[in-house]
Structures are given as C-alpha cells and as structure tokens.
C-alpha cells in the first residue's frame, strides 16, 4: 500500500481549462457545436470560442459509456486462466492469485483498466474489489468517474463478518474524506453464496442509512439458483427481497437465471440488472439474461464488462454489440435494438450509478466521447446508432472528456506507457 501512495506524483490532469468547445461534431445525426463550462455542458449551438477548442469534424459525439459492473484490477489476471469451468477457474486460478494481491498491485491494475476504459470510450464505472482505497486513488489520478464498493465476503463466519463490516465502514469514511464528486462509495456484498443473511441485512441497512448504492451479484448460474431453493426454499431474488435488500438503489450484476416472479420483483423494486454478456458466454452460464421479458415489465437493464479475467477486455462498444447479438440468438432479430444498447451503456447506466450524466444536453455533466466517422468500419454511415453499436469497437474512439476535462485527444493519454509498464511488473508477482 505504501508503494502505491508514492506513485501518485504523475501529473495526469494538467492545466485547468475552464471551457471547452467541440466544433462541428455530429450529435444525434446533426452537425453541432458543444460548449462545456467547467464540468457541465452549458450550450449546444451558438458559442464559437473557448479556452480549449476541439475540431470535431469527422467525428460523432456520444455520452461517455458507463460500465456498470467490473473488477478493474483484474486486468492483472487477463488471460491467466481461460477456457475452464467456473468453479475450477475460481478455485485453481483466480482465488490463489488474488491471495497474492497487495495495494500497489491493485493500484496499477486499476490504472491500466482505466486507461483501457478511456481508450474505448468509458468515462464511468462501477467497481467491486479489494484494496479499494488504492482503487479510489487510481480513479482520482485518472480523471474518470466511479462508484466503488469493497467486496464484502464473510463466508458465513461471524468473525469474518465483523471484519468486513469494519472494512466497509472504513472505506466509506475514506471516500468521504476524499471529497471528490467523481468518486462515490457503494456497499458491495459479493453474493448470497458468499455472504451470510446477517451480512446482507447489515449491508442494506448501512447503505440506506448512508444514502449509498448497493452492488451485488445475483443469479449468475443455475447452480446458485438451485442451491438457494435448497437452502432457503426460494430463488436468490426472492431471498434478497425477503430481507428488504432490493430497491432502486441496487445494481444486480448478471441477473441471468431469473424466473417471471423474480422479474416482477425487480420491476416492483426498481432494481438495476447489470447485463454482462461476454462474461456470461465465456464462463458458459448456460443462457442469456431475459432482456425482453425485463423490458416488458419496464425494467431498464444496464451493461457491464465484468472483470478482465472473464471477458477479456473492458471495451463497452464491443459489449453493446455482444449484448445485442446474444439477445438475437433467441430467434428474434428485433430484440435489443442498437438504440437500446446505447441507452443501456449511457443514459440508463449513469442513472444506475447515480451521476447526472449520460446525455449530451445543457446542464448535464460533461462526460463526452468523440468517435471517428472517417475510418473504414464507420463508412458509409447510414445510421449513426447502428454504426456505433454494430460496426465500431473501442479503437474508433478519438477523444474523451470527463467532468469537463480532456482525458484523451487523438488517442493519446498522459501516463499510458508508465501504467502499462508498471502493470506488467505487478503481474509478474503472481509467479513469485
């Protein structure tokens, strides 16, 4: 942990720019000027001068993408164990490696993840992991936005539970003292099969007392659901609801194996299911999240990559396409159209995380990305939404602005080489 703190001298966000003008970009299919004052979008249209002027010709402007479920530092475990059954993968590869993690590794793993996210157009993410103070520092140093939760795992042991409660409270206090509007704390009990009923109840109570969001994994596999029926006589969703856990402040990762009753409960409580299609397919969870049935009940599913060990990248443009294709595999080509994939990754995602971003309109936070429209895969552009979802991937992103600051221009990010070098060094430690 000490090591990570010493590494914080890198000047990532240089001179303070008070206003930015993006000229001649395509916004919603129309050529526009976007004017940003401090950290908000202040006008679409007339203004022609600013402290920083960005030529937006040959680009389309979109809200920054929002990754609603990830474990950022797992970039260090990218490709460390692939093509394995879930439980063997966790027990023989992931958990032994994670036991070797320290704060410095998590800091650089997260810095690497954030650079990868920025380069593929993500400006906000929802993270659950360990050494979360180091994750928070990495977010602070990188200029993006994040909702961060300490991965609470008590394994049904009272002593462990007391420790996890202390860790959670300590991290929430740490985020409070950071006093950075880009960083918010969440309460993140891992799942019903790793956290006791008492731990889940404490989490919900503490989150509501503090006005924080809850982040957990729900019904990722059929086994989880079967075990829940055996142990509690009900589904994981019903079990969580029976203790008052579910609400519009809950982000429920995966939510794959839900029945109609579960979906009704989600709709009634306003839960945000975070769809992680690449991870679900890679770990072979056996079916797709019931997206269309959720939409029929008015639920707004959001999108996430999950960690890089189960994806294996953090490219949200790719994830939109994966989500749309996975739903169409059911035989319905109209399921999850491009327009909705974009909403999942922007407007709805940011609502789930509780930030006032996700739209390029006056008054919204200035989280904006520019995607090149003059590259082969974006030519011709009959429909910008189809091009963004089905044709583009992260490498089409040219410029990224978050909170009114330019984090990437012409695909250049300050500190990229150092983060890659340090992350590579950190990953060596798994073999030590």
Residues that bind Zn ion (CB under 5 A): 306
What sections of 92-157 are H helices per DSSP?
95-98, 103-119, 132-142
Pairing of strands 40-44, 213-218: unpaired
What's the number of CA atoms in the CB half-sphere (13 Å) around residue 155?
Answer: 3
Identity of the residue, 72 or 336, whose beta carbon is nearer to Zn ion in the bound complex: 72
194 touches 211 (CB < 8 A): no
**Is 308 or 378 the residue whose CB approaches Zn ion more closely?**
308
Closer by beta carbon to Zn ion, 33 or else 254: 254
Nearer to Zn ion by Cβ, of 50 and 278: the residue is 278
Distance spanning both ends of the chain, measured CA to CA: 18
Query: In the structure encoding, which two tokens stand for residue 12, read together?
Result: 């990532």
**283 or 357, CB closer to Zn ion?**
283
Nearer to Zn ion by Cβ, of 262 and 306: the residue is 306
Can you tell me which residue has the tokens 């240089």?
14
Closest CA to 253 of 83, 125, 427: 125
Q: How many CB atoms lie within 10 A of CB 107?
A: 29
Of 116 and 306, the one with the shorter C-beta distance to Zn ion is: 306
CB of 217 to Zn ion, least distance (A): 6
Give residue for tokens 């799942």. 191
What residues contact 16, with CB distance under 8 A and at least 6 apart? none
Closest approach, Cβ 151 to Zn ion, in A, equals 9
| 252 vs 370, beta carbon nearer Zn ion | 252
The Cα–Cα gap between 65 and 346 comes to 5
254 strand-pairing partners? 218
Shortest separation between residue 375's beta carbon and Zn ion, angstroms? 32
Pure H helices in 156-251: 158-178, 197-210, 222-232, 236-242
Least distance between Zn ion and beta carbon 404 (Å): 31
Of the pair 306, 398, the CB lying nearest Zn ion is at 306
CB of 244 to Zn ion, least distance (A): 23
Task: Write out the two tokens for 163.
Answer: 């420790």
The residue (of 25 and 110) whose beta carbon lies closer to Zn ion is 110
For residue 403, the minimal CB distance to Zn ion (Å) is 26
CB contact at 8 A, 184 and 210? no
CB of 187 to Zn ion, least distance (A): 16
Q: What is the dihedral of CA 125, 410, 57, 393, to 10 degrees?
A: -50
Q: How far is the CB of 314 from Zn ion (least distance, A)?
A: 13
CB of 135 to Zn ion, least distance (A): 14
Spatial separation of the C-alpha atoms in residues 321 and 324, rounded to whole Å = 5
102 in Cβ contact with 191 (< 8 Å): no
Cβ 367 to Zn ion shortest distance, Å: 23
Question: Which pair of structure tokens corresponds to residue 344?
Answer: 């999942």
| Nearest-CB residue for Zn ion | 306
Judge if the upstream peptide bond of residue 312 is cis by omega within 30 degrees of 0: yes
**DSSP letter assigned to residue 192:** T
Tell me the C-alpha distance between 407 and 415, whole Å.
11
């Amino acid at each position: 942990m000490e090591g990570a703190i010493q590494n914080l001298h890198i000047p990532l966000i240089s001179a303070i720019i008070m206003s930015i003008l993006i000229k001649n970009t395509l916004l919603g299919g129309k050529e526009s000027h976007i004017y940003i004052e401090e950290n908000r979008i202040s006008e679409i249209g007339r203004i022609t001068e600013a402290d920083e002027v960005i030529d937006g010709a040959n680009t389309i402007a979109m809200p920054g993408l929002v990754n609603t479920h990830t474990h950022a530092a797992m970039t260090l475990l990218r490709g460390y164990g692939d093509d394995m059954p879930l439980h063997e993968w966790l027990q023989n590869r992931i958990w032994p490696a994670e036991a070797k993690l320290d704060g410095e590794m998590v800091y650089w793993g997260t810095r690497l993840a954030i650079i990868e996210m920025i380069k593929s157009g993500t400006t906000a993410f929802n993270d659950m992991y360990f050494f979360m103070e180091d994750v928070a520092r990495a977010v602070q140093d990188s200029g993006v936005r994040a909702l961060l939760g300490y991965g609470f795992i008590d394994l049904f042991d009272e002593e462990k539970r007391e420790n996890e409660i202390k860790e959670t409270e300590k991290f929430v206090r740490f985020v409070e003292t950071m006093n950075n509007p880009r960083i918010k704390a969440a309460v993140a009990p891992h799942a019903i099969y790793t956290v006791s009923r008492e731990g889940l109840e404490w989490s919900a109570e503490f989150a509501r007392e503090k006005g924080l969001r809850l982040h957990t994994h729900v019904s990722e596999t059929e086994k989880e659901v079967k075990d829940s029926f055996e142990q509690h006589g009900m589904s994981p969703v019903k079990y969580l609801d029976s203790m008052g856990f579910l609400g519009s402040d809950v982000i429920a990762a995966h939510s794959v194996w839900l029945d109609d009753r579960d979906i009704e409960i989600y709709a009634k409580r306003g839960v945000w299911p975070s769809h992680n299609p690449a991870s679900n397919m890679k770990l072979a969870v056996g079916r797709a999240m019931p997206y269309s049935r959720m939409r029929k009940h008015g639920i707004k599913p959001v999108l996430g990559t999950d960690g890089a060990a189960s994806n294996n990248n953090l490219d949200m443009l790719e994830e939109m396409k994966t989500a749309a294709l996975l739903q169409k595999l059911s035989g319905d080509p109209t399921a999850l159209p491009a327009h909705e994939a974009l909403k999942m990754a922007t407007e709805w995602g940011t609502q789930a995380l509780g930030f006032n971003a996700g739209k390029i309109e006056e008054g919204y936070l200035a989280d904006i990305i520019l995607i090149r429209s003059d590259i082969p895969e974006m030519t011709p552009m009959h429909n910008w939404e189809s091009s963004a979802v089905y044709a583009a991937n992260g490498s089409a992103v040219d410029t990224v602005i978050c909170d009114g600051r330019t984090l990437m221009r012409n695909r250049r990010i300050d500190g990229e080489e150092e983060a890659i070098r340090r992350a590579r060094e950190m990953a060596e430690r798994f073999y030590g």
